[in-house]
Structure 1
Amino acid sequence: MNNRMDLTGKVALVTGGARGIGAATVAALLSAGVRVALVDRDFPPGTAGSERALQLTGDVTDPEAMAHCVAATVTAFGRLDIVIANAGITPPPATIRTIDRTVFDKVMAVNFGGVLNIVRAAADEIVASGGHVLLVSSCAAFTPGMGGSAYMVSKAAVEQLGRALRIEFAAVGASAGLAYFGVVDTDLARHTLDDDPIGQRIGGLLPWPLSRRLTSRRAAELLVRAARTRRARLIAPAVWTPYFWFRGILNPILERRLVRDRAIAQIIRDLESTPAH
């Protein structure tokens, strides 16, 4: 298998393709000469497909809908070479004790179940084309998750899925990789970290440069590059890379400090005294 993919004429499917990172990734793929199927639950008013951009309405939590989207992509474009499993949601800050269980389950269903559903639906086509699947995880997968455990748990699950998939695909002539982003400046991130008062306090605990935000456009450029080069992992901003490699040492130290941190304790108490939302 060629380790580098010539993107010209290839076909990609992007979940969560109507907004944020997904929309920027669709634009970057089109600029690279790729034909793209963009999947989302709904599309902003005024958006339209084109000869090289196929809009498909579907909920990633529905396995049959994802199978339909893959089939529609192959019918329209004749093949499928790249899948970027990007769709995800971020819940309001909450503790494990107080989060509405339906909210927790929804995060898992979208962020992990949605990735599994599109991987399962597209796997045969990706193997047939010797293609590449790129799963969007997060640096949250390997950092302490107080106040945001549902998101962290879901992204950690995506990480393990991607690791297994990479090994399994290698045996049958395809490839898979993981993208770990810090904070990307999207509506989802702003709603959680900027618009929510307690979210602001949690976000403020992240020191610079870890708090530096990527633009959606930059995240998209990195995703397209990772697909082209079949990268096993993409970590951005790059300042997160040492944390990725040394998490086994850093996390016990950090957790011990956070357990004793009065500011953290106050945030947790405030979260638990705030009505669920």
Structure 2
Amino acid sequence: MSGWFGKKYDVRDRVVMVTGAGQGIGLALARRLHDQGARLALVDLNESGLEVVASSLGAERVLTVVADVTDRAAMAGVVARTLERYGQLDVVVANAGVTPPPATIRTMDLADYDRVVAINQTGVLNTVQPALDAVIAAKGHVVVVASCAAFSPGVGGVGYMSSKAAAEQIGRALKLELAPHGASAGVAYFGFVDTPLATATLDDDPVGRRLDELLGWPLNHRISADAAAESIADGISERAGATVAPARWVPYSLLRGVLNAGADRVLARDRRVHEMVRDLEARAETRG
């Protein structure tokens, strides 16, 4: 399937900006796009991570910029540097994201919530908005990395899930707003991806492990960062309005309105959920 535009979008010699490119999905995507012939502007706070990817790919088609997506002026500067280096900007992938420790709304540290929103939601706007004129001029494409968490039950993770739901809406708005200009946008949804972010949340934290078990198979099936990057890259080539990986999340995505109404009722009565909430609240009391 080749999307609304009728033919494949070849990234060869096009300029692609990727945030969160120092590790995980962003790093895997940078390598994949470089192999496809793209010229890259890679952004991350992790300077050492950027140095590793730059040294492995070479300097000819790679610009690295250490910047914080929460810094609006800095992100405008990234776009300016990209245009100065390459003279164009065709594709933007707003990938940078973080997750807070599991917590209930009642006991969470609101500073943690603010940080997640600043990166996962406002950071997307800070990344995308200054680049839109260039993307429109190139009739290019924007990818907003959301998550299947945007439409999953939110117990213990409302900061991450609500910020990804907001990111989804930003991506959906961009689809409509760019279309009259001949440009396009898409939203990338992932289930569980084996990255340092997921490991810290689901493996290293006992409550996270319990949440992983509660969701159950097949939805807790994990994919590699390379598989996630492949999904984004394929979505760019198709100018896809949405990509979902792993594919077993597609039925949930399509039927979310019906499934979530039932899931909320069932989970509200589930003793495992009750125990997890009590444990999260007890943890907060211990820390407080």
**TM-score interval for Structure 1 and Structure 2 normalised by the shorter chain:** over 0.9
Number of equivalenced pairs: 277
- Map 1:29-48 to 2 at 5 A: 29-44=33-48, 47=52
1:126 aligns with 2:130: no
Give distance in 2, aligned partners of 1:12 and 1:136.
15
Amino acid at match of 2:122: G
Give distance in 1, aligned partners of 2:218 and 2:6.
36
1:6 aligns with 2:10: yes
Q: CA deviation at 1:42?
A: 2.2
- Paired residue for 1:272? 281
192, 195, 220: which is aligned to 1:183? 192
Give distance in 2, aligned partners of 1:231 and 1:48.
27
Amino acid at match of 1:136: V
Over residues 218-258 of structure 1, what are the superposed CA-to-partner deviations in whole Å (9 max), with x where a residue is unaligned?
A: 11111111111100000111111111111111001000000
Q: Can you give the 5+ residue segments of structure 2 that lack an aligned partner in the other structure?
A: none
Give distance in 1, aligned partners of 2:78 and 2:112.
26
Over residues 127-184 of structure 1, what are the superposed CA-to-partner deviations in whole Å (9 max), with x where a residue is unaligned?
A: 0100000000000001110000000000000111111110010011110000000000
Over residues 7-53 of structure 1, what are the superposed CA-to-partner deviations in whole Å (9 max), with x where a residue is unaligned?
A: 11010000001110000000001000001110011222652631111
SS in 2 for 1:60: coil
Residues 22, 53 of structure 2: 8 Å contact kept: no
Amino acid at match of 2:163: S
92, 100, 108: which is aligned to 1:99? 108
SS in 2 for 1:205: helix
- Map 1:22-101 to 2 at 5 A: 22-44=26-48, 47=52, 49=54, 50-101=59-110
Amino acid at match of 2:52: T
- Paired residue for 1:201? 210
Q: CA deviation at 1:3?
A: 4.5
Give distance in 2, aligned partners of 1:185 and 1:43.
22
Q: Can you give the 5+ residue segments of structure 1 that lack an aligned partner in the other structure?
A: none
227, 238, 257: which is aligned to 1:229? 238
Please give the TM-score of this superposition, normalised by the length of structure 1.
Answer: 0.97
- Paired residue for 1:141? 150
Give distance in 1, aligned partners of 2:210 and 2:53.
39
1:210 aligns with 2:215: no
Give distance in 1, aligned partners of 2:237 and 2:136.
16
Give distance in 2, aligned partners of 1:24 and 1:199.
25
Give distance in 2, aligned partners of 1:41 and 1:118.
14
Amino acid at match of 2:31: A
1:242 aligns with 2:262: no
